Amino acid sequence: PIVTTPSGPVAWRSVPSWYAVSGSDRMIDPAEERWMATRASAQTIEFADASHVGGITRYSAQFTALVERAARATTH
């Protein structure tokens, strides 16, 4: 059964990761976001006054740069 089949090891322990923290997020506590990023050893960027999706919309150039860095790092 699908429900009881283990998925295997989690990828964030072995695969490089990146995380954008939205400092004014009211959906996910920014402290929780920072904790998750630290736990995954993620390269992190923080948008201090961004809402939940503010990092993607309001800071689109910086967010795009983060995604591009991640893409370059994982394609080699």
Q: Considering the entire predicted model, what is its pTM? A: 0.74
3-state secondary structure of 47: strand
**Is residue 58 a contact partner of residue 50, using CB atoms and an 8 Å limit?**
yes
pLDDT in tens, 10-32: 887 888 899 999 999 999 999 99
Evaluate if residue 1 carries a pLDDT over 60.
no
Chain centroid, CA 58 distance in Å: 17
* Per-residue pLDDT band at 4 (split at 50, 70, 90): confident
3-state secondary structure of 43: strand
Q: Output the six-digit token pair for 9.
A: 């090891």
pLDDT in tens, 24-70: 999 999 999 999 999 999 999 999 898 888 778 888 898 899 899 98
